[in-house]
Chains A and B, each alone.
Chain A
């Protein structure tokens, strides 16, 4: 076992703690094995990438881990607790929050309201039907802070549906961060982003990852190389290779299955 160099500030002990793990994870769709016998161990505080060609089962893995799909077989454990049978909302309440491949915003609500929806959940503000919505203004300072973090302050009163694609992704990230998640699962956060925005979002993810664990599906290998401590390569629903970026990218099977498609 080669130990990768731990991130500068993180103590070595924390880096080896497993926060989220899946064993023998399998999902079958009417005879088609979308995910087959996948073992995943996500270390606390790491940024873990899930890569692989299209149809490799990355998003299905995400859906299984967050319980938007029920696994056919296998077990998912979060901080020692078996969460295999929990509903997706309960997963989120334990601090595992995901984003979606197709940007998930509330299109007819303002950017500010999108973030406030997430901020409403902790505390009692979500169920109060007798109070005016001005009661939510106590959340504004925090919401504005989050919106500013992703560089959307100029659009704060705009309807989320009117934003260009890349900005929707940024808003989605702000909404996810609003929940202060323990583990963030980001499904292709860079997809559809303009080249100049990628660096900004990568920096944002790096900042957000301090004190958190991030699992991300990502196609852009420069981003993966730059950002991620650990890489799992999936192919046809099975794990092909795992390790840090350098060891994975040197693996001949990975080069054949995946890197060959990289044109630069």
Chain B
């Protein structure tokens, strides 16, 4: 009892103990799954899951931690995929430079779209991002370099850093896993940083953050660009994995899909978007071979989620564990 009160009075970090042991255990299990997965499950499938998981996690950085619902994230995902695929095919870029180019392009596009969208809030913000990303979709549809309806096909995977042949599916897998890990840890760091603290404050009470002298637009734009860049990273890597960049990746359905993944997994949780992406991608893969129409099943799950477990899978589990304490 005495130590308890001493701890609450002195300990610098709140809720330090219990969470961190759970987090470390989870991290180890996650890492083991990541390493062992290609030996158990078809590697291309896991890579697809990882790309979408990073996409959803980057999207959730904006929705879950700043409270901004973007309905245009496909522009960053698909745009980066196009740039990456094109620079490999046309200019013989090595994969790492092509991915970097795609990521930078997404960041730049994010700066433009974000700059225009953060001026408005709520549904208007979502509408502006949707409109601008649709404009980008039509650019991709019409511009000659994207290959129109065909997309850019048969993108060679090439050699990473000049000596790792990504044609080998295991090498490709571990590269994707490393990129995912990098992106995921970057998000984790940002969320739990001094900057992330201000983002949460803006999400919680924007007026109050302004009245404390924070130029909230700068913070929102910063978060938007980071989110767009990480989304682009996921899109660029996906283009190399599937050797393909197409209109599917820039369409509004893709923006909707990532919202669905994040919602199902749990908004504002770190692991939620990963779980959501895994669930949606698995369902799509599984149902693709059955006669069930995919949108109907996903739609049903979505409705059930919104009606019954609004916090999403991971959100509900967290809430359950908190109740038990």
Binding site for B on A (CB under 8 A): 66, 68, 87-89, 92-93, 97-100, 104-110, 112-113, 116-118, 120-121, 125-137, 140, 156-157, 175, 179
A128 close to B195 (CB less than 8 A): yes
* Contact count band on B: 20 to 34
- Within 8 Å of chain A (Cβ to Cβ): is B308? no
Binds A, one of B154-162, B196-204, B312-320: B196-204
- A263 vs B207: C-alpha distance when bound (angstroms): 35
- With most chain A CB atoms within 10 A of its CB, the pick from B193, B200, B207, B213 is B213
**Which of A68, A133, A175 makes the CB contact (< 8 A) with B196?**
A133
Q: Which of A66, A68, A126, A140 contacts B214 (CB 8 A)?
A: A126
Q: Are A137 and B12 in contact (CB under 8 A)?
A: yes
Cα distance A99–B213 when bound, in Å?
12
A95 to chain B: closest CB distance in Å? 9
6 A-B pairs besides A131-B193, A135-B193 with CB distance below 8 A are A89-B213, A89-B216, A104-B207, A109-B201, A120-B197, A132-B193
The residues of B that contact A175 with a CB separation of less than 8 Å are 212
B189 touches A130 (CB 8 A): yes
Assess whether B116 is interfacial by the CB under 8 Å rule. Answer: no
A selection of 19 A-B contacts at a CB cut-off of 8 Å is A87-B215, A89-B210, A89-B213, A92-B211, A92-B212, A97-B211, A97-B212, A104-B208, A106-B205, A113-B197, A117-B198, A120-B194, A120-B198, A125-B194, A127-B222, A129-B189, A137-B13, A156-B8, A175-B212
- With a cutoff of 8 Å between Cβ atoms, the chain B residues found around residue A109 in the complex are 200-201, 204
**Inside 8 A of A135's CB, which chain B residues have their CB?**
193-194
CA–CA, A168 and B53, complex, Å: 38
B218 smallest CB distance to A (angstroms) = 8
Residue with the greatest number of chain A CB neighbours at <10 A, chosen from B13, B190, B205: B205
Asked whether A179 lies within 8 Å of B213 as measured between CB atoms, the reply is yes
In the complex, A130→B187 CA distance in Å? 10
Q: Is the CB of B201 within 8 A of A106?
A: yes
With a cutoff of 8 Å between Cβ atoms, the chain B residues found around residue A117 in the complex are 197-198, 201, 209, 212
B14 CB contact (under 8 Å) in A68, A97, A110: A110
Does the CB pair A134–B211 fall under 8 Å?
A: no
Q: Does B285 contact A (CB under 8 A)?
A: no
**CB within 8 A of B205: which of A93, A105, A118?**
A105
Q: Is the CB of B210 within 8 A of A126?
A: no
Residues of A within 8 A of B226 (CB): 129
* Contact (Cβ within 8 A) B212 A121: yes
Shortest distance from the beta carbon of B223 to any chain A beta carbon, whole Å: 9
Q: Given the complex, which residues of A lie within 8 Å of B195, measured CB to CB?
A: 126-129
User: Contacts of B213 on A, CB cut-off 8 Å?
Assistant: 89, 92-93, 97, 121, 179
CA distance A104 to B201 in the complex (A): 11
> Is B192 an interface position by the 8 A CB rule?
yes
Interface residues of B (CB under 8 A from A): 8, 12-15, 189-190, 192-198, 200-201, 204-205, 207-216, 222, 226
Q: Of the candidates A66, A92, A97, A126, which one forms a contact with B198 in the assembled complex, judged by CB atoms under 8 Å apart?
A: A126
Interchain CA distance A136-B193 in the complex, whole Å: 9
Most chain A CB within 10 A, of B12, B214, B216, is at B214
Measured CB to CB, the closest approach of chain B to A130, in angstroms, equals 7
Q: Which 5 A-B pairs have the closest CB atoms?
A: A92-B213, A129-B195, A106-B204, A104-B208, A93-B213
Of the candidates A87, A105, A116, A140, which one forms a contact with B197 in the assembled complex, judged by CB atoms under 8 Å apart? A116
Taking A104-B205, A109-B204 as contacts, is the C-beta distance between A133 and B197 under 8 angstroms?
yes
Residue of A nearest to B8 (CB): A157
Residue from A68, A126, A132, A136 within 8 A of B189 (CB atoms) = A132
B8, B208, B214, B215 pick with most chain A CB within 10 angstroms: B208
With a 10 A CB-CB cut-off, give which of A89, A104, A120 has the most chain B CB atoms. A89
Chain B residues whose CB sits within 8 angstroms of the CB of A98 once the complex forms: 211
Q: How many angstroms from the CA of A68 to the CA of B206 in the assembled complex?
A: 12
Q: How far is the CA of A120 from the CA of B201 in the complex (A)?
A: 11
Q: Determine the chain B residues whose CB is within 8 A of the CB of A120 once the complex forms.
A: 194, 197-198
Chain B residues, CB < 8 A from A131: 193-194
CB neighbours (8 Å) of A137 from chain B are 12-13
| Inter-chain contacts of B190 with A (CB < 8 A) | 129
- Provide the residues of chain B in CB contact with A118, threshold 8 Å: 212
Minimum Cβ distance to chain A for residue B60 (Å): 16
CA distance A133 to B16 in the complex (A): 12
| Cα separation A184 to B209 with both chains bound (whole Å) | 16
- Residues of the A chain whose Cβ atoms lie less than 8 Å from the Cβ of B210: 68, 88-89, 92
Chain A residues within an 8 Å CB radius of B15:
157
